């Protein structure tokens, strides 16, 4: 008898980071408590999207959500096929890695290697196999940590101020000061990978770290 594949979703960011869900036939994603995969965030629709299996493979379907469903950072309309290693984003606040077969399920989160890695014990940042040297400034390092902890999700400016300038309470910290710090961080990261735009500006909200899987 042919062995049935068991597709898997692995949360790669946000509140659900590192949690895993097996797909039997249908996996309903949304904010409602009766969904198979619940994302408790107002940006997520009550019934946002679903994954389902067919003889042709696994499909991801957007259920007319308000803030969209994305595969590899491209918004989908209706249903679209999924392939091994695809990155799924729900309303741009929660990211998942799609693994098509239980034969290739990572045994732990550490086995999914990302381009940017932060060694918090030694305060060292790696981009691929290159260590950032000289190291980031303290403010750049704190900013990167703030984005890294919620990679794939939007981090609002207010949260960045609270982390980078904890004594300021937002007073006197202009958008220009935040933008300047982000530019300096982008410049340092580009020294080690000029082809990837790691820090994305989400106008009207804040910033998001795109930290792709290493090839």
- Strand order in 206-209's β-sheet? 154-156, 206-209, 199-202
Tokens found for residue 8: 């898997």
Per-residue pLDDT of the chain (215 residues; tens, 9 = 90+): 344 557 888 888 777 877 888 887 899 999 999 999 999 888 999 999 999 999 889 999 999 999 999 998 899 999 999 988 888 999 988 889 888 764 444 444 444 567 888 887 778 898 987 889 999 999 999 999 999 888 778 889 988 998 999 887 656 788 999 999 999 999 999 999 999 999 999 888 899 998 887 65
Cβ(211)–Cβ(116) under 8 Å?
yes
Q: Is 190 within the bounds of a domain?
A: yes
In 3D space, the residue among 133, 106, 102, 100 whose CA is nearest the CA of residue 119 turns out to be 133
How many domains is the chain partitioned into structurally? 2
Residue numbers of the domain that contains 45: 8-99
Last residue of some domain: 35, 64, 99? Answer: 99
Q: How far is the C-alpha of 132 from the C-alpha of 146, rounded, in Å? A: 17
Tokens found for residue 213: 């899987």
Q: Is 29 within the bounds of a domain?
A: yes
Question: Is there a single domain that holds both residue 76 and residue 122?
Answer: no
Q: How far is the C-alpha of 128 from the C-alpha of 125, rounded, in Å? A: 10
Q: Is 82 within the bounds of a domain?
A: yes
The CATH number assigned to the domain holding 91 equals 2.60.200.20
Question: Is there a single domain that holds both residue 80 and residue 127?
Answer: no
Q: Is 90 within the bounds of a domain?
A: yes
The CATH number assigned to the domain holding 138 equals 1.10.10.10
> What residue has token string 């729900």?
90
The predicted-structure confidence for 1-48, as pLDDT tens digits, reads as follows 344 557 888 888 777 877 888 887 899 999 999 999 999 888 999 999
Question: Is there a single domain that holds both residue 13 and residue 91?
Answer: yes
Question: Is there a single domain that holds both residue 201 and residue 129?
Answer: yes
Q: Is the peptide bond before 134 cis (omega within 30 degrees of 0)?
A: yes
**pTM (whole model) above 0.85:** no
Question: Is there a single domain that holds both residue 92 and residue 123?
Answer: no
Question: Is there a single domain that holds both residue 154 and residue 204?
Answer: yes
Q: Is 215 within the bounds of a domain?
A: no
Q: Per-residue b/e over 13-33, b at no fewer than 16 CB within 10 Å?
A: bbebbeeebebeeebbbbbee
């Amino acid at each position: 008898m042919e062995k049935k594949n068991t597709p898997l979703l692995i949360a790669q960011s946000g509140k659900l980071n590192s949690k895993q869900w097996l797909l039997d036939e249908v996996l309903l994603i949304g904010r409602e408590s009766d969904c198979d995969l619940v994302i408790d965030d107002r940006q997520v629709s009550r019934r946002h999207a679903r994954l389902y299996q067919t003889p042709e493979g696994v499909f991801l379907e957007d259920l007319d959500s308000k803030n969209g469903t994305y595969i590899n950072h491209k918004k989908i309309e209706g249903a679209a096929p999924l392939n091994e290693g695809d990155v799924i984003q729900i309303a741009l606040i929660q990211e998942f890695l799609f693994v098509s077969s239980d034969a290739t399920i990572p045994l732990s989160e550490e086995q999914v290697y990302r381009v940017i890695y932060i060694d918090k014990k030694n305060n060292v940042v790696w981009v691929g196999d290159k260590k950032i040297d000289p190291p980031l400034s303290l403010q750049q390092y704190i900013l990167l940590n703030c984005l890294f902890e919620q990679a794939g999700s939007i981090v609002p400016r207010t949260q960045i101020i609270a982390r980078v300038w904890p004594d300021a309470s937002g007073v006197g910290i202009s958008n220009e000061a935040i933008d300047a710090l982000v530019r300096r961080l982008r410049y340092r990261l580009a020294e080690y990978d000029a082809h990837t735009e790691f820090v994305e500006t989400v106008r009207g909200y804040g910033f998001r770290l795109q930290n792709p899987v290493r090839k």
